[in-house]
């Protein structure tokens, strides 16, 4: 049996139950503490992650807090991975979805954890104004249906950027006017839409903000991974440290091809089991509509925390 750990993105804290279910793990609290000390001493940011996670969802995801929310998710995911390392064999592959790429790289040994989280907060300080450009939404077709070639052609025509999660679930980043057109089309087609982030993540419209930090980001020390990493953006294995750094920048501004990435891990690399690291179960839901033969397991259940 070959196993891949998969790491969800920024939606990991949307539900309060997901925010709190791993907080009792000493490994998670240790990751919180390391991040808190590093951020205070190196970036002048004072934060208590347990207090942050006690706030209402809209405050956690407010633009001024969203980079800290990302670090909280990374800390939880790294703590979960730390615990699994003690009790289970290491996985054959690691793959992140969006911000999950950060914890993925840490667990693979490519990034030093404290360096990664401190620099992430530094790099995202100059993001104010992003919420005036557009947003990022989830769009899902009715059960049993999928998006058509005509739909994808129309998305291209109106200049939004589409991440394909599975045949009936998309993540779309774009400007407000074009996203309003999608919501109109959704009403006529029976699609469901949900705002995920109040800025246009995974779209061309965030690229100018990424370019501001590119030089500094590429200067971070990175090691070859000790566990193979697969990219859900470029659909290939990443082993070169420079590639890993560049792909992390892309993970913010480029679209995801999650459906194809999962398929390739199964067909080309023999993966028979995926472990959803969490804290949310969003990727488990996405996997249900993918035509692959592989077991889906929750890290929470492996640790028997319930």
Closest CA to 121 of 217, 215, 53: 217
Tokens 């397991």 identify what position? Answer: 297
The Cα–Cα gap between 125 and 212 comes to: 11
- Rounded CA-CA distance 94/80 in Å is 14
First-to-final CA distance of the chain: 25
Cis? peptide before 211, omega within 30° of 0: no
Q: Taking the C-alpha atoms of 204, 132, 179 and 281 in order, what is their torsion angle to the nearest 10 degrees?
A: 80
Measuring CA to CA, how many Å separate 280 from each of 20, 108, 190, 238, 300?
Answer: 10, 21, 26, 25, 10
User: What pTM was computed for the model?
Assistant: 0.95
Domains belonging to the chain, first-starting first, are 3-128+228-302 (3.40.366.10)
Looking up tokens 């200049």, which residue turns up?
Answer: 159
Taking only the tens of pLDDT, the chain with its 306 residues reads 999 999 999 999 999 999 999 999 999 999 999 999 999 999 999 999 999 999 999 999 988 899 999 999 999 999 999 999 999 999 999 999 999 999 999 999 999 999 999 988 887 877 778 889 999 999 999 999 999 999 999 999 999 999 999 999 999 999 999 999 999 999 999 999 999 989 999 999 998 888 887 777 778 889 999 999 999 999 999 999 999 988 887 778 899 999 999 999 999 999 999 999 999 999 999 999 999 999 999 999 998 754
Q: How confident is the model at residue 306, as a pLDDT?
A: 46
**Do residues 26 and 75 lie in contact, with contact meaning Cβ atoms separated by under 8 Å?**
no
Q: Is 123 exposed, middle or buried (0-12, 13-18, 19+ CB in 10 A)?
A: buried
């Amino acid at each position: 049996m070959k196993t891949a750990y998969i790491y969800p993105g920024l939606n990991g804290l949307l539900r309060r139950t997901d925010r709190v279910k791993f907080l009792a793990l000493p490994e998670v609290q240790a990751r919180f503490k390391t991040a808190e000390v590093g951020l205070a001493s190196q970036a002048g940011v004072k934060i208590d992650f347990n207090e942050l996670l006690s706030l209402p969802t809209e405050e956690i995801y407010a633009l001024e807090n969203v980079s800290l929310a990302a670090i909280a998710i990374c800390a939880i995911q790294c703590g979960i991975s730390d615990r699994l390392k003690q009790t289970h064999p290491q996985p054959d592959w690691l793959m992140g979805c969006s911000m999950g790429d950060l914890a993925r790289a840490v667990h693979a040994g490519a990034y030093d954890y404290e360096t990664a989280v401190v620099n992430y907060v530094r790099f995202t300080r100059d993001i104010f104004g992003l919420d005036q450009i557009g947003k990022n939404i989830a769009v899902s077709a009715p059960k049993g249906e999928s998006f058509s070639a005509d739909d994808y052609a129309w998305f291209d025509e109106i200049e939004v950027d589409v991440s394909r999660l599975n045949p009936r679930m998309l993540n779309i980043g774009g400007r407000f006017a074009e996203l309003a057109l999608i919501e109109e089309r959704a009403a006529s087609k029976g699609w469901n839409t949900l705002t995920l982030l109040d800025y246009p993540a995974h779209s061309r419209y965030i690229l100018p903000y990424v370019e501001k930090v590119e030089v500094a980001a590429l200067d971070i020390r990175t090691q070859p991974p000790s566990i193979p990493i697969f990219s859900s953006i470029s659909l290939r294995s990443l082993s070169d440290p420079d590639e890993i750094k560049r792909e992390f920048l892309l993970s913010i501004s480029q679209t995801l091809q999650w459906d194809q990435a999962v398929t390739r891990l199964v067909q080309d690399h023999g993966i028979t089991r995926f472990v959803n690291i969490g804290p949310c179960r969003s990727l488990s839901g996405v996997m249900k509509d993918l035509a692959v033969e592989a077991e889906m397991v929750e890290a929470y259940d492996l640790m028997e925390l319930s």
